[in-house]
Amino acid sequence: MRLSIFSSVCSLLFVMTSCNMEKDPIGLLTPDQINESPSESTLKSAVNSAYEPLRNTNGFLGSGAWAQGLYIRPDFVIEDIAGGDMNKKWVSDGDQAWIDEVSRFSFTSENPAFNGIWTYAYEGVSRANLAIDKLGNPATIEQAGIPTALAERMLGEVLFLRAYYYIELVTNFGDVALLTKPLTSFEEAYEVAKRVPQDQIWQQINTDLQQALQLLPDAKHPVDTEPWRVSAAAVLALEAKVALFAEKWEQVISKVEALEQKGYFSLNDNYFDSFSNSKKFKDQEVIFAYNHTQGTLPKNGNSIGALLGWGFLAPTDDFLASFEENDPRLEYTVNVGDRLVYKLMGDLNAANRGNGDSPANKILIRWADVLLWKAEAYLETGNYPQAIGLINKVRNRARNTVKVDGGKAPTGTLPDRNVQESDPSVIKTWLMQERRSELGFESHRFSDLRRWKVAAEVLRNMGKSFRPHHYLYPIPQREIDLSGGSLTQNPDY
């Protein structure tokens, strides 16, 4: 059965999760889905549905098949596991061997990880396009009787979400297909199944974010009762991230400064507060997160808990060894002795290990990450004291965080970096170290290594078979085949 008239699509050439996924092209609106006179509640549902492809609920797309990379959103595979921070399991085995192939960089274009992330991202794009098409039509808004402020806010949300999904696509695959409207025929679906230069994708991302910023209200939480919604602050943060990937350092600084001036966010006193289930949306640091909830129908829990119960997602020895002595962040990320990944469970106990309906939020943007973007921009523009100062600010919070056992880190833990340092290579090493310790298991690592152009050096030193063409992942072979060859493959795959 179809979930709603705005029920979503699964990949560039397939649609409905409930449709026959071997027949329907992506983005196709079948006649029974088209509603020329949507109500306010329908439009709200369309907007809410555009958030859902961010979640970690198992079986959300299609049959939830592991073999298609759809059991759970595989961003941790292409980021944390590929980046050398995470092992598939605590004990090596043959279960889901495709994840090991990503870890070793021995994968092919048929690996489920790439079909999975492609599918989730284009699902999000398609859902956003459906909402944008309706909310961007003044006649539809008037007919539905929606207040202008509400319509503008909802449009801003889905523009942000479309940009977010396209960032995921362009950074992982390079040139990708650009869909900016719902498709109403098979002919349209196949016509857009062509890759466009990634500069064009980035241009669309910037356009969407600029428009979203104008539409969203200036508030930490636009809706107090729904703090998970996209805010103008989240847009500013994502604009800063786009500038970071483009190496437009002055823009990074100016965007973060604009965010700082709002005074909405600061570093929590305790490092774990951003991840704690008891402090969801009550902390001072989380800018954007997917709101997992348990006990709902349909399910909306974080199924990472189920994976943890099956022995998945363990730290690599290299990751553990990268932390400085007594750094409290390590024990908040993972309890090695008890095999508990606290950061992903949201509690400092085993309550959610094995819980496939965990309430743990999925943190997507937080303040420490943003501060380290600004530190990097200062470094790249030669403002070394400012860069070091921000690195020290993050370190200061870390060393003053009460340890898991309630004690304090020993004197001398995580000492400040020398603000007199003038060697940019030394400061860059400090920055890279800080991002790994601060953001471990948050699905940033491989993107960082690619962005810094050090992936080959770092990953080969870990024994991985990384090659230059791995800076981009392969276009899923399934998509190329279904396009009849109109989608082309990245080089050397």
- 229-285: per-residue pLDDT in tens? 999 999 999 999 999 999 999 999 999 999 999 999 999 999 999 999 999 999 999
Say whether pLDDT at 28 is over 60: no
What percent of the chain lies above the pLDDT cut of 90?
Answer: 87
- Please say whether the beta carbons of 120 and 8 come within 8 A: no
- Please say whether the beta carbons of 128 and 161 come within 8 A: yes
The tokens of 322 are what?
């990268």
Say whether pLDDT at 18 is over 50: no
Return all residues near 92 (Cβ < 8 A) that are at least 6 apart.
Answer: none
Name which residue leads in pLDDT, 182 or 348. 348
Read off the pLDDT band of 24 (50, 70, 90).
Answer: very low
Say whether pLDDT at 3 is over 60: no
Say whether pLDDT at 186 is over 90: no
The tokens of 192 are what?
């857009």
Say whether pLDDT at 353 is over 70: yes
Return all residues near 29 (Cβ < 8 A) that are at least 6 apart.
Answer: 130, 182, 183, 184
Rounded to whole angstroms, the Cα distance separating 121 from 10 reads 9
Pairing of strands 286-290, 86-89: unpaired
- Mean pLDDT, residues 47-59 taken together: 96
Say whether pLDDT at 449 is over 70: yes
**CATH class, range 1-199:** mainly alpha
| pLDDT at 36 (0 to 100) | 67
Say whether pLDDT at 30 is over 80: no
Say whether pLDDT at 427 is over 60: yes
Write down the residue that tokens 């592991």 correspond to: 66
Say whether pLDDT at 225 is over 60: yes
- Provide the 8-state DSSP code for 471: G
Read off the pLDDT band of 355 (50, 70, 90).
Answer: very high
Say whether pLDDT at 124 is over 50: yes
- Please say whether the beta carbons of 167 and 205 come within 8 A: yes
How is the chain split into domains, by residue range?
A: 1-199
304-308, 440-444, 483-487, range with the lowest pLDDT? 483-487
Say whether pLDDT at 10 is over 50: no
Residue 19's SS3 state is: coil
| pLDDT at 29 (0 to 100) | 45
- Mean pLDDT, residues 16-42 taken together: 53
- Provide the 8-state DSSP code for 248: -
- Mean pLDDT, residues 477-484 taken together: 88
Say whether pLDDT at 5 is over 80: no
| pLDDT at 34 (0 to 100) | 43
Say whether pLDDT at 31 is over 90: no
The tokens of 475 are what?
């276009």
- Mean pLDDT, residues 112-140 taken together: 95
